[in-house]
């Protein structure tokens, strides 16, 4: 399996090559290099998946974990060292497929979307960098390798959000994304330090003896690691960077901020799942509550946003909440006895990546057509862009959880797992699923139906996107249509054994009903041209509406803390203290020396009369002293 090194090496080389040559390369050449490399990576990933799952289960009935290659990168002590390697197990192989597929689609799509943009070469170079980092993250053989690539995806995200670097909002958004996630990564790092120290290695499976010794510290270490995961996966209250990250080019939002990087936190929890279950089940349940609250919060906020990318961003946050909840409600590693959530979470991660990438790419086509992110510039677009319309509808139905689309199957498993955990959790998540259906169809109707902004459209007639953009849409829509029928449990489950998915029709029935209610409500409120009901509700609950529109003022709180507290109350006084007290003391010392030497200098004036006076005075003084004693 040594060839897997190419999966990381090819995009790295592509990044270095296109990055170094930059403008000396023709834009299309840079694009082709990136795309061909990604296609090769996708091919290798599929090949790896086929040969990995094709090799079958071992004697104990699980797909064996394999290390394709592994090398020491930086040794700390004899036992403690950072390795770089390539780990193959069901979830890493699944992630390989997800990442390479979406990345390839985005590479193709960007030919159309980014056409004529300045910095086309730079864009493709960064895409390659991101692809490499994300792949390195999921195949990490140890927690520190994960952290290394974790930081690298962070910086790729920073560079891509800030792609339009002359735009003020983009600069602020990229900065925010990096700093908020950096702050979360601090938790991750300290968690790793604790983990490394107590278990004596950075391995995911340090052995039961080492774990036994580290037992008391593991919950703390895992909890801190989850903070890192919560930062990347935009869990409340570290979610604030994700909506702003929409300032980046839309295909980037699809790849990084919908399908791959933002689920890194989910992947982290899944990766550490055996440890969570074995040593820190309480911490795992805390993640479930965090996830549930985030899912609810984001779904409410998504209902009132007017920028279509923001709606999708909050929808992403909410859906990641679902995945975290699914992991968090697990009570054992047996999928039949409380461990169903693991499989459900990974399944949802897979299906969500496809349909959310589809939604974002669809949104990209729309933005491309009307040159605005605002819903007010849209309406009635179904006539102009049929392919986008149909594929977008498919994705909306999938995320709403309508049979037989992929989202139905994965969401159903999540809800079943939640009901297993507690009826309250199940009910809450079902309600949020209903909200999801509502806000997605509010979005759908506002874009494709409803009142058309005729003025704007007359000025600039919307048009269907070119083939390079619609082909990825069609491909992803096809995946969304059929992905639900993949026997996912056969490949991924919490104990590694084959798990046969069966649909619990009571749960499924309830969730379908709720979804239909959500859709119906949205239809009633937003399908018509006048929107009387929607506006009426908004004005009746104007306080709530406003609060939700401003995302419950969480950003303002952060703004206050960073500017008024950290900058104004810590940094500025420290800088003042340094200049005036610490340095002031040094200056005082200098001035003191100068004035003291001035005083002494007076004695050595070269003036004979003065010397005589001093001499006589001294002699007299001495005589007095001698006489007295």
Partner 1 sequence: MNILSLFPAIPLLMMLGLWISKNIRQIRTVMVAGSSVLLALAVYLVFAYLGMRADGQTAEMLFTDSRMWYEPLNIHYSIGVDGISVAMILLSAVIVFTGTFASWRMELQVKEFFMWFCLLSVGVFGFFISVDLFTMFMFYEVALIPMYLLIGVWGSGKKEYSAMKLTLMLMGGSALILIGILGIYFGSGGTTMNITEIAALHNIPLSLQRIWFPIVFIGFGVLGALFPFHTWSPDGHASAPTAVSMLHAGVLMKLGGYGCFRVAMYLLPEAAQQLSWIFIILTTISVVYGAFSACVQTDLKYINAYSSVSHCGLVLFAILMMNTTAATGAVMQMLSHGLMTALFFALIGMIYGRTHTRDIRELSGLMKVMPFLSVGYVIAGLANLGLPGFSGFVAEMTIFNGAFMNHDTFHRVVTIIACTSIVITAVYILRLIGKILYGTCNNPEHLKLKDATWDERIAVTVLVIAIAGLGLYPIWMNDMISNSVTSIIAHILN
Q: Residue 107 Cβ, how far from partner 1 at the closest point, in Å?
A: 22
Q: Taking CB under 8 A as the rule, does residue 169 contact partner 1? A: no
Q: Taking CB under 8 A as the rule, does residue 592 contact partner 1? A: no
Q: Give me 352's structure tokens.
A: 């969500």
Q: Taking CB under 8 A as the rule, does residue 567 contact partner 1? A: yes
Phi (first) and psi of residue 259, to 5 degrees: -100, -40
Q: Residue 583 Cβ, how far from partner 1 at the closest point, in Å?
A: 4
CA distance 277 to 267: 15
HSE-up of 126 (CA within 13 Å, CB side)?
24
CA distance 483 to 350: 9
Stretch that binds partner 1, among 27-35, 188-196, 255-263, 361-369 (CB under 8 A): 188-196
Q: Residue 77 Cβ, how far from partner 1 at the closest point, in Å?
A: 6
Q: Taking CB under 8 A as the rule, does residue 582 contact partner 1? A: yes
Place of tokens 């864009």: 123
In sign, the C-alpha dihedral spanning 599, 601, 603, 606 is: negative
Q: Give me 461's structure tokens.
A: 């007639």
Q: Residue 130 Cβ, how far from partner 1 at the closest point, in Å?
A: 14
CA distance 93 to 332: 23
Q: Taking CB under 8 A as the rule, does residue 248 contact partner 1? A: no
Q: Are 88 and 65 in contact (CB under 8 A)?
A: yes
Q: Taking CB under 8 A as the rule, does residue 182 contact partner 1? A: yes
CA distance 315 to 321: 10
Q: Taking CB under 8 A as the rule, does residue 223 contact partner 1? A: no
Q: Taking CB under 8 A as the rule, does residue 220 contact partner 1? A: no
Q: Would you give the distance in Å from CA 460 to the centre of its chain?
A: 35
Residue 502 DSSP code: -
Stretch that binds partner 1, among 142-150, 230-238, 376-384, 461-469 (CB under 8 A): 142-150
Q: Taking CB under 8 A as the rule, does residue 547 contact partner 1? A: no
**Bridge partners, 88 (sequence order):** 66
Q: Taking CB under 8 A as the rule, does residue 560 contact partner 1? A: no
Exactly one of 9, 36, 50, 179 binds partner 1 (CB under 8 A); which one? 179
Q: Residue 287 Cβ, how far from partner 1 at the closest point, in Å?
A: 22
Q: Residue 71 Cβ, how far from partner 1 at the closest point, in Å?
A: 9
> For residue 618, how many other CB atoms are within 10 A of its CB?
10
Q: Taking CB under 8 A as the rule, does residue 152 contact partner 1? A: yes
Q: Residue 162 Cβ, how far from partner 1 at the closest point, in Å?
A: 7
Exactly one of 46, 53, 69, 73 binds partner 1 (CB under 8 A); which one? 73
Exactly one of 83, 89, 151, 452 binds partner 1 (CB under 8 A); which one? 151
Of residues 179 and 619, the one with the C-beta less far from partner 1? 179
Q: Give the per-residue contact string, 82-121, with partner 1 (x = CB under 8 A; - = no).
A: x---------------------------------------
Contacts of 402 (CB under 8 A, 6+ apart): 408, 512, 515
Whether the ω angle into residue 297 lies within 30 degrees of 0, i.e. cis, is no
Q: Taking CB under 8 A as the rule, does residue 193 contact partner 1? A: yes
Count the residues of the shown chain that bind partner 1, applying the rule CB under 8 A: 49
> For residue 376, how many other CB atoms are within 10 A of its CB?
12
CA distance 308 to 315: 11
Ramachandran region, residue 21 (left: φ > 0; alpha: ψ -120 to 50; beta: rest): alpha
CA dihedral angle for residue 336, residue 342, residue 343, residue 348, rounded to 10 degrees:
140
Exactly one of 148, 471, 478, 547 binds partner 1 (CB under 8 A); which one? 148
Residues that bind partner 1 (CB under 8 A): 72-77, 80, 82, 144, 148-149, 151-152, 155, 158, 162, 165-166, 168, 171-172, 174-175, 178-179, 182-183, 185-186, 189-190, 193-194, 196-197, 566-567, 570-572, 574-575, 578, 582-583, 585-587, 590
């Amino acid at each position: 399996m040594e060839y897997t090194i190419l999966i990381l090496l090819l995009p790295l080389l592509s990044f270095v090559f296109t990055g170094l040559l930059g403008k000396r390369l023709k834009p299309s050449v840079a694009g082709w290099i990136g795309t061909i490399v990604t296609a090769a990576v996708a091919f290798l990933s599929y090949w790896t998946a086929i040969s990995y799952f094709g090799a079958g289960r071992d004697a104990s009935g699980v797909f064996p974990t394999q290390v394709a290659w592994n090398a020491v990168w930086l040794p700390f002590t004899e036992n403690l060292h950072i390795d770089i390697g390539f780990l193959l197990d069901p979830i890493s192989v699944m992630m390989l497929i997800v990442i390479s597929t979406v990345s390839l689609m985005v590479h193709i799509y960007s030919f159309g979307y980014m056409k004529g943009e300045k910095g086309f070469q730079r864009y493709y170079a960064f895409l390659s960098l991101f692809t490499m980092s994300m792949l390195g993250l999921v195949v990490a053989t140890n927690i520190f390798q994960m952290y290394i690539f974790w930081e690298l995806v962070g910086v790729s995200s920073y560079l891509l959000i800030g792609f339009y670097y002359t735009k003020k909002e983009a600069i602020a958004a990229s900065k925010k994304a990096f700093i908020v996630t950096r702050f979360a990564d601090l938790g991750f790092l300290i968690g790793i330090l604790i983990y490394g120290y107590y278990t004596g290695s950075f391995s995911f499976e340090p052995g039961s003896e080492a774990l036994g010794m580290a037992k008391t510290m593991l919950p703390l270490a895992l909890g801190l690691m989850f903070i890192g995961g919560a930062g990347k996966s935009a869990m409340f209250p570290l979610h604030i960077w994700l909506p702003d990250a929409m300032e980046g080019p839309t295909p980037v939002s699809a790849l990084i901020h919908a399908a791959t990087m933002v689920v890194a936190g989910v992947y982290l929890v899944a990766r550490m799942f055996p440890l969570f279950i074995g040593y820190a089940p309480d911490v795992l349940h805390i993640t479930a509550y965090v996830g549930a609250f985030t899912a609810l919060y984001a779904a409410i906020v998504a209902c009132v946003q007017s920028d279509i990318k923001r709606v999708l961003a909050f929808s992403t946050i909410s859906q990641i909440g679902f995945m975290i909840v699914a992991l968090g409600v697990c009570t054992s590693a047996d999928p039949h006895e409380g461990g169903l959530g693991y499989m459900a979470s990974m399944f949802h991660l897979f299906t969500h990546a496809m349909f959310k990438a589809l939604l974002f790419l669809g949104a990209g086509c729309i933005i491309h057509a009307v040159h605005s992110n605002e819903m007010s510039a849209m309406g009635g677009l179904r006539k102009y862009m049929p392919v986008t319309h149909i594929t977008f509808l498919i994705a909306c139905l999938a995320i709403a959880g309508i049979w037989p689309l992929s989202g139905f199957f994965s969401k159903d498993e999540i809800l079943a797992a939640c009901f297993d955990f507690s009826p309250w959790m199940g009910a809450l998540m079902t309600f949020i699923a209903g909200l999801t259906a509502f806000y997605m169809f509010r979005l759908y109707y506002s874009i494709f139906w409803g009142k058309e902004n005729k003025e704007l459209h007359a000025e600039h007639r919307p048009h269907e996107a070119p083939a390079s953009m619609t082909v990825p849409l069609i491909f992803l829509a096809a995946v969304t249509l059929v992905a639900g029928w993949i026997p996912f449990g056969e490949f991924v489950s919490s104990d590694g054994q084959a798990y046969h998915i069966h649909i619990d029709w009571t749960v499924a029935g309830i969730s379908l009903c709720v979804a239909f209610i959500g859709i119906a409500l949205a239809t009633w409120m937003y399908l018509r041209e006048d929107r009387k009901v929607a506006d009426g509700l908004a004005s009746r609950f104007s306080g709530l509406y406003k609060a939700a529109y401003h995302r419950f003022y969480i950003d303002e709180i952060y703004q206050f803390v960073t500017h008024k507290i950290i900058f104004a109350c810590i940094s500025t006084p420290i800088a003042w203290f340094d200049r005036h007290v610490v340095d002031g003391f040094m200056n005082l010392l200098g001035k003191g020396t100068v004035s003291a030497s001035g005083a002494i200098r007076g004695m050595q004036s070269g003036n004979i009369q003065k010397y005589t006076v001093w001499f006589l005075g001294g002699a007299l003084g001495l005589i007095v002293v001698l006489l007295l004693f």
